[in-house]
Structure 1
Amino acid sequence: MTDEMPNIDRASLHLPETGKLVLPGEPDHKPRVLMLCGSLRTRSYSRFLTQEAKRVLEALGAEVRIYDPAGLPLVSDDAESHPKVTELRELSLWSEAHVWCSPERHGAMTGVMKTQIDWLPLAPIGGVRPTQGRTLALMQVCGGSQSFNTLNQMRILGRWMRMITIPNQSSVPKAFAEFDESGRMQPSPYYNRMVDVMEELMKFTLLTRGRAEYLVDRYSERVESAEALSLRVNQRSI
């Protein structure tokens, strides 16, 4: 851990104590985290921040996968079966938590970030919604002074996607000054805040993943399902 994360004070990094967060009989595998990054640039500070967060999550006991958005098409009817769309949706179904990290461009998230989110439907895939009930952590990088525009936008989307978006978040201003030539984040309060966010994500994920389906169960959908079943059962044969 010391070699991989030189900015970490190991004595202050506490591993989640699952015994304090979950009930007997709940999942005991590593929390599954999908990370989405909103940039395709070669030297991408949002990707660098995502990679730093991945190291922290793995140190905290998570299984992490970063989706590469290169080649993902814009949303259209004829791209539903595109391999990059299939890959993204399968990763979301696999996951129990997400981390979204985007640069702020023109006061908003990037098109790369929004396209990834747009490809994750609210409708079930194989009977399972690809985002509902999953925890979500948000991060952004800024080219200039600190801003929260992108975080606010992504928080709205997280709610719309029926995700459990954690309260803490990370915004890194003047990102070009926070990473060295190799892409590693330097020690700073911004680094510590990123660690805070990943730590909180892990705790919320452990708290909710065994009961997420119950937490997001909705009366309106149960009524609609009952009505649909009644119509199907009682329809007359032709």
Structure 2
Amino acid sequence: MRTNGDLNNTSAAREVARIDIDAAHSYRSLAISEAEDDATIRKSYRPFLLSPEITSTDWISKLELSTVVKLAEEDLHKTGERLKVLVLYGSLRERSYSRLLAFEASRILFRLGCDVRVFDPTGLPMKDDVQHNQPKVQELRDLGRLERRPCLGLCRATWESHCRLQKPNRLDPPLRRLRRPTQGRTLAIAQVSGGSQSFNAVNSLRLLGRWMRMFVIPNQSSVPMAYTQFTDERLADPVEGGSRMIPSGNRMRIVDCMEEFVKYTILMRPHFALFGDRCSEREERVEKERKATEKARKEAEEKRVE
């Protein structure tokens, strides 16, 4: 008997059936092999990849991910297309913890069979109204543009200092102009902090994702005291390599986020067109068609009179 009653109203929670572990899929990797990967893309947009020796023995290879691996494998066989994910980070520091976190997230997604591409923001100008054709701006737009690359997911890692979002002007404006192309896609967010755990940056990213009409997954990752959460890059472990996340609840949270991100993306992808279908836009389209028809009719009458 509870002394203070059911304070959290747990009795109202829905019963959830436990999903059994499928041993055949527990530690399987759906990663794109070097032989089947595009060499240019692999060199330019997959800086997170490690040597085959490390990839086969590191902590990510030992994660039990049977449920999402099975789901991803079935989706790959059904559609013949891998989930395409663009990963962003904002820091340009030589040892950037948001970049290291983004790389770890990318490795998890890559094992789950995603076509992961990481954008390097080096050289991306600050926001203005004249540099639309700047190479880095165009590169980011091309990576995120729907018609050129059907990117279905976006993972964004950033860092926070003194309770504010860092470098929002560098990465966000080019994507903000892609508001329409990004609608209906999924978004995962994460942040690193230099001090105690905070959620200001991820909350800001959540608002930005909503503004871009994206579906932000419920889970999120916030890594406090990030400088203590990664191994030294100079002391590379033969099993794990250097600059890897140390075992902790923070590491498991980023795993949970990426697992959830893939699940949501797979479940929502078949309904992409449905989520973008709105009454206001349908009426606007009908009105445009009516005006076009009326204009064509008048032009035809004028020609007939002449």
TM over 0.5: yes
> 1:160-186: per-residue Cα shift (whole Å, max 9, x none)?
101011001000000000011112111
Matching residue of 2:99? 47
Partner in structure 2 of residue 115 of structure 1 = 170
Q: 1:6 to 1:76 in 2, by over 3 A?
A: same
Which residue of 265, 280, 283 maps to 1:205?
265
> Larger deviation: 81-90 or 221-230?
221-230
- 1:211 to 1:192, Cα distance in 2 relative to 1, 3 A: same
Q: Is the 8 A contact 2:60 2:107 kept in 1?
A: no
Q: Does residue 1:18 correspond to 2:71, yes or no?
A: yes
CA spacing shift, 1:140–1:123, aligned 2, 3 Å: closer
- Match of 2:190? 139
- Once the two structures are TM-superposed, the CA of residue 234 in structure 1 deviates from its matched residue by 1.8
Q: How many residue pairs were aligned? A: 232
| Alignment partners' CA distance in 1, 2:77 and 2:110 | 23
Please tell me whether the aligned partners of residues 103 and 110 of structure 1 are also in contact (alpha carbons under 8 angstroms). Answer: yes
Q: Distance in 1 between matches of 2:63 and 2:99?
A: 27
Unpaired runs of at least 5, structure 2: 1-28, 30-52, 234-242
Contact 2:157 2:189 in 1 (8 A): yes
Cα pair distance change 1:223/1:25, threshold 3 Å: farther
Give the partner amino acid of 2:70.
E
Of 143, 163, 171, the match for 1:91: 143
Question: Which aligned pairs between 1:66-105 and structure 2 lie closer than 5 A?
Answer: 66-93=118-145, 94=149, 95-105=151-161
Shift of 1:8: 3.9
Which residue identity lines up with residue 264 of structure 2 in the other structure? Answer: F
Whether 1:37 and 2:76 are equivalent positions in the alignment is: no
> For residue 59 of structure 1, what is the aligned residue in structure 2?
111
Say whether the 8 Å CA contact 1:21–1:206 is kept in structure 2: no
- State the Cα distance separating 1:45 from its structure 2 match: 0.2
Q: Are positions 1:223 and 2:278 aligned together?
A: no
Partner SS, residue 6 of structure 1: coil
- Label 1:231 to 1:122 Cα distance change in 2 as closer, same or farther (>3 A): farther
1:148 paired with 2:199, answer yes
CA contact 2:72–2:266 (8 Å) conserved in 1: no
Shift, 1:18, TM fit: 3.0
Moved more, 45-54 or 68-77: 68-77
State whether residues 34 and 91 of structure 1, in contact with CA within 8 Å, keep that contact through their aligned partners in structure 2: yes
Aligned match of 1:195:
255
Which SS does the other structure have where 1:202 is aligned? helix
Q: Which residue of 1 aligns with 2:22?
A: none
| Aligned residue among 159, 167, 175 for 2:226 | 175
- What SS does structure 1 have at the residue aligned with 2:201? helix
Structure exhibiting the larger radius of gyration computed from Cα positions? 2
TM-score, scaled to structure 1: 0.88
